[in-house]
Structure 1
Amino acid sequence: MIYKELYAQRARQLERSAIAALKDQAAGETDMLSLGEGVPAPELFPCKELSAVAKEVFLQEGQEVLQYGDSKGWPALRTKLVQIVSKYGINASPEGIQITSGSMQSLDIAARLFLDVGDTVLVEDPTFIDAKNCLAMTGATVKGIPCDSEGMDLGALEAALVADSSVKAIYVIPDYQNPTGLCWSETRRQAFMDLVSQYEVIILEDNPYGEITYTNTYHRALASYDQQGQVLFMGSLSKTLSPGIRIGWLCGKPQLITDLSLVKECCDIHSSLPDHAIAAGFMNIYSYENHVAAMNAIYKARRDALVASLRSALPDFTFTIPSGGFFLWLQLPDKIDEYAFFQAALTAKVLVIPGTPFFVNKPSKGFVRLNFTGLEPAKLQLAVTRLAKAYESMIK
């Protein structure tokens, strides 16, 4: 039997993540330094603290957390998440929080609730690769809107909204975007909301990186400007506490959250309550704020090490220094192909990710995405030294 002949039409359009395919080329290589994977530093996970909390959770609340529970998630954690979203100017209640198994599930159930075959969803161009797949899985058409240094191009956005009545949703990452590291200006956020408020569209605001700030600044979420209940805010503990715990959340009007909860029940009834209770317990016993601040100080030092190394060893390359998040968007010199650079970097034992797969419309050539959170400063410096040798081999 050829199983693909039985696949749903939308499933036939799925493509393996370009990042996964590129990583395969580095698999099995020894002494490979990765600037490609968007991962937190595992040595910063609070393993000892989480272990102590987990023991207490199972001793004190084991029978409850190991049972079926509220599809919206562990109440104590929802209360804690209300405090986190308040950093972005969002006035929420526990009834307006739906806990999910990470940001991708948040986007998945939101897309299932809102998008039909024939609908259009607008995204920043470039954008997060896995979000493109998730949105397209609904049968909707994904179209890209270019960005400038302040955020989404509002002229292009307005033209798309006027020209296409099928637009039902707009997906954006305003804080330290993946892949570019772009952070929208406050002026652009307000202007964006002023524009979209004139249309019947849902705004899917993804914010996995907002707490990873190198200026100690939290930016107002689009949701904080929302006067009509248009914005569905999505957050995550993957970048601050642990991606393995798989905790994300949706924040919106309580009635909308109730409807999203019904969609989630079709997926998994509810997410892992032990994980919820462990995360909430960590925030009760230890200082989550101090943990995030200490982590950000280390990541900032790593960012600075990468920036200094790039300026010294690769002066022909250009970039904007990210003020938060995990990524630096590196522009290559003219006539240097990003895939040829990727291959040369692999030969030099460094993994980078070409920028082309992140684009929705016709891709802009000559970019690579670099992650700096996963390596210590000395290894970041060594990685750039190797990249410089790769570049030299291309221009000889």
Structure 2
Amino acid sequence: MDMKQLYSKAASKLKRSEIGELKSRAAGKPDILSLAEGVPAAELFPTEEIAKAAYKIISEDGARILQYGDCRGDKGLRTHIAHIMEKYAIHVQPDQVQITSGSMQSLDLCARLFLEEGDTVLVEDPTFIDAMNILAFAGGTIEGVPLDEEGMDLAVLEEKLRTNPRIKLIYIIPDYQNPTGLTWSQARRKAFMELVAQYNVVVLEDNPYGELTYGEAYQQAVKSYDTKDQVIFMGSLSKTFSPGIRIGWLAGEQSVIDALELVKEHCDLHSSIPDHSIAATYMNIYSYDDHVKYMCGVYKKRRDAFVEALHTYLPDFTFTVPKGGFFLWLRMPAGVDCMKFFDACLEEQVTCVPGTPFYTNKDNHEFMRLNFTGLNEEDLVRAVQRMAKAYAQLV
């Protein structure tokens, strides 16, 4: 029997991520240096402290936390998350926070709640490819709005909002964006909300990188300018605490969070209560803020070493130094195609991600996304040296 004949129309559209396809080509290669993975440095995980927190909560309260739990998530963890959001000038109560199994589920829940087949979703162009895939799978028609050095192009956004009544959602990553590393200016955030407030649309503000700031103050969130409860804020502990402990969250107006809780209940009842309890217990015993500060110090040194190496070994390439986050957006010299450069880098035992898949129309071949958090400073320099050899082969 061919089960594929019974797949839903939506499932028949599923395909592997283009980034996953590209990264699979590097699998098994010896001595590969990866600038492709958007991952935190595993050696920075507070493993001993997490182990102690896990032992404490399971030994003292295991019967409760191993049972079914609150669909909205552990109250203690939601209290800590409300504190984290104060950094972005967002003031919410714990009941306005819905815990999810990472940001991907946060997106999925919002898509299920709001989207119908044919609704339009506006995204930054370029943007996070997996977000486009989730929103499209739910029936959304994805349209891009270009970015400039301050954020989303508001002239293009206004034209789309004015002429397309089926726009339902706007998905944005204002802080240290994936893939560009761009940070929206405060003026652009304020102007964006003043424009959006004129229309009946929902804004999904995704902020997985906001705490990873390198010498800068925390950015005031787009949601902090929200006067009509249009913005749903999405956060994550994957980049600052552990991606294996699947904790993301949604925060917004109470009735919307109540509705999202109902959607989640119909998906999986609740996320992992032991994970919630471990994270909350860690934050009760240790200073989460000090841990994040330590990570920022390490990552800033890696960024600086990476930037210096790029200036030294690839002077023909251009980029803006990211103020935080995981990624640097490298522009190719004239005449160099990012896909061909990817192939050449692979031959030199270094991987990066071509920028093309991050665009809605897939026709831009000028950029590469580079991650600088997953390798130490010495390996970052070695990786750039290998990239320089690859570039020399092309030219």
TM interval, shorter chain, is over 0.9
For residues 120 and 316 of structure 1, the distance between their equivalents in structure 2, rounded to whole angstroms, comes to 39
After superposition, what is the alpha-carbon deviation per residue over 1:100-126, rounded to whole angstroms, capped at 9, x for unaligned? 000000010011000100110000000
Q: Tell me the residue number matched to 1:184.
A: 184
User: Does structure 2 conserve the Cα–Cα contact (< 8 Å) formed by 1:73 and 1:276?
Assistant: yes
- TM-score relative to the length of structure 2: 0.99
Alignment of 1:179-328 (within 5 A): 179-328=179-328
For residues 372 and 125 of structure 1, the distance between their equivalents in structure 2, rounded to whole angstroms, comes to 22
Q: CA offset at residue 50 of structure 1? A: 0.2
Q: Tell me the residue number matched to 1:345.
A: 345
Q: CA offset at residue 361 of structure 1? A: 2.6
Secondary structure of 2:249's counterpart equals: strand
Q: Tell me the residue number matched to 1:122.
A: 122
**10-19 or 293-302, which moves further after superposition?**
10-19
Secondary structure of 1:181's counterpart equals: coil
After superposition, what is the alpha-carbon deviation per residue over 1:368-391, rounded to whole angstroms, capped at 9, x for unaligned? 000000000000000000000000
Does 2:336 correspond to 1:330?
A: no
Can you give the 5+ residue segments of structure 1 that lack an aligned partner in the other structure? Answer: none
User: Does structure 1 conserve the Cα–Cα contact (< 8 Å) formed by 2:99 and 2:250?
Assistant: yes
User: Does structure 2 conserve the Cα–Cα contact (< 8 Å) formed by 1:73 and 1:271?
Assistant: yes
For residues 152 and 5 of structure 2, the distance between their equivalents in structure 1, rounded to whole angstroms, comes to 39
Secondary structure of 1:79's counterpart equals: helix
Q: Number of aligned residue pairs: give it.
A: 395
Q: Tell me the residue number matched to 1:160.
A: 160
User: Does structure 1 conserve the Cα–Cα contact (< 8 Å) formed by 2:352 and 2:370?
Assistant: yes
For residues 338 and 14 of structure 1, the distance between their equivalents in structure 2, rounded to whole angstroms, comes to 25
Does 2:113 correspond to 1:113?
A: yes
Secondary structure of 2:87's counterpart equals: helix
Q: Tell me the residue number matched to 2:371.
A: 371
User: Does structure 2 conserve the Cα–Cα contact (< 8 Å) formed by 1:113 and 1:260?
Assistant: yes
For residues 292 and 176 of structure 1, the distance between their equivalents in structure 2, rounded to whole angstroms, comes to 16
Q: CA offset at residue 15 of structure 1? A: 2.1
For residues 155 and 362 of structure 2, the distance between their equivalents in structure 1, rounded to whole angstroms, comes to 18
Q: Tell me the residue number matched to 1:356.
A: 356
| Code of the aligned partner of 1:124 | E
Q: Tell me the residue number matched to 2:134.
A: 134
| Code of the aligned partner of 2:212 | I
User: Does structure 1 conserve the Cα–Cα contact (< 8 Å) formed by 2:171 and 2:205?
Assistant: yes
Q: CA offset at residue 363 of structure 1? A: 2.9
For residues 359 and 97 of structure 1, the distance between their equivalents in structure 2, rounded to whole angstroms, comes to 31
After superposition, what is the alpha-carbon deviation per residue over 1:338-372, rounded to whole angstroms, capped at 9, x for unaligned? 11100100000000100000000353221100000
Q: CA offset at residue 216 of structure 1? A: 3.8
| Code of the aligned partner of 2:267 | C
User: Does structure 2 conserve the Cα–Cα contact (< 8 Å) formed by 1:10 and 1:136?
Assistant: no
Q: Tell me the residue number matched to 1:95.
A: 95
User: Does structure 2 conserve the Cα–Cα contact (< 8 Å) formed by 1:348 and 1:389?
Assistant: yes
User: Does structure 1 conserve the Cα–Cα contact (< 8 Å) formed by 2:354 and 2:365?
Assistant: no
For residues 351 and 329 of structure 1, the distance between their equivalents in structure 2, rounded to whole angstroms, comes to 14
After superposition, what is the alpha-carbon deviation per residue over 1:162-202, rounded to whole angstroms, capped at 9, x for unaligned? 11100011000000000000000000000000000000000
User: Does structure 2 conserve the Cα–Cα contact (< 8 Å) formed by 1:98 and 1:250?
Assistant: yes
User: Does structure 2 conserve the Cα–Cα contact (< 8 Å) formed by 1:121 and 1:171?
Assistant: yes
| Code of the aligned partner of 1:65 | I
Q: CA offset at residue 222 of structure 1? A: 1.1
After superposition, what is the alpha-carbon deviation per residue over 1:75-114, rounded to whole angstroms, capped at 9, x for unaligned? 0000000000111011100110000000000010011000
User: Does structure 2 conserve the Cα–Cα contact (< 8 Å) formed by 1:15 and 1:133?
Assistant: no
For residues 106 and 15 of structure 1, the distance between their equivalents in structure 2, rounded to whole angstroms, comes to 21
For residues 230 and 364 of structure 2, the distance between their equivalents in structure 1, rounded to whole angstroms, comes to 31
CA separation of 1:17 and 1:362: change in aligned 2, threshold 3 A: closer
- TM-score relative to the length of structure 1: 0.99
**255-264 or 212-221, which moves further after superposition?**
212-221
CA-atom RMSD in angstroms:
0.8
After superposition, what is the alpha-carbon deviation per residue over 1:305-335, rounded to whole angstroms, capped at 9, x for unaligned? 1100000000000000000000000001011
For residues 15 and 92 of structure 1, the distance between their equivalents in structure 2, rounded to whole angstroms, comes to 38
| Code of the aligned partner of 2:166 | S
For residues 327 and 11 of structure 1, the distance between their equivalents in structure 2, rounded to whole angstroms, comes to 31
For residues 165 and 66 of structure 1, the distance between their equivalents in structure 2, rounded to whole angstroms, comes to 47
Structure 1 segments of 4+ aligned residues over 6 angstroms from their partners: none
Q: CA offset at residue 9 of structure 1? A: 1.4
User: Does structure 2 conserve the Cα–Cα contact (< 8 Å) formed by 1:125 and 1:361?
Assistant: no
Secondary structure of 1:309's counterpart equals: helix
For residues 72 and 153 of structure 2, the distance between their equivalents in structure 1, rounded to whole angstroms, comes to 35
Residue identity (%): 58
For residues 255 and 197 of structure 2, the distance between their equivalents in structure 1, rounded to whole angstroms, comes to 20
Secondary structure of 1:14's counterpart equals: coil
Secondary structure of 1:88's counterpart equals: coil
Secondary structure of 2:329's counterpart equals: strand
Can you give the 5+ residue segments of structure 2 that lack an aligned partner in the other structure? Answer: none
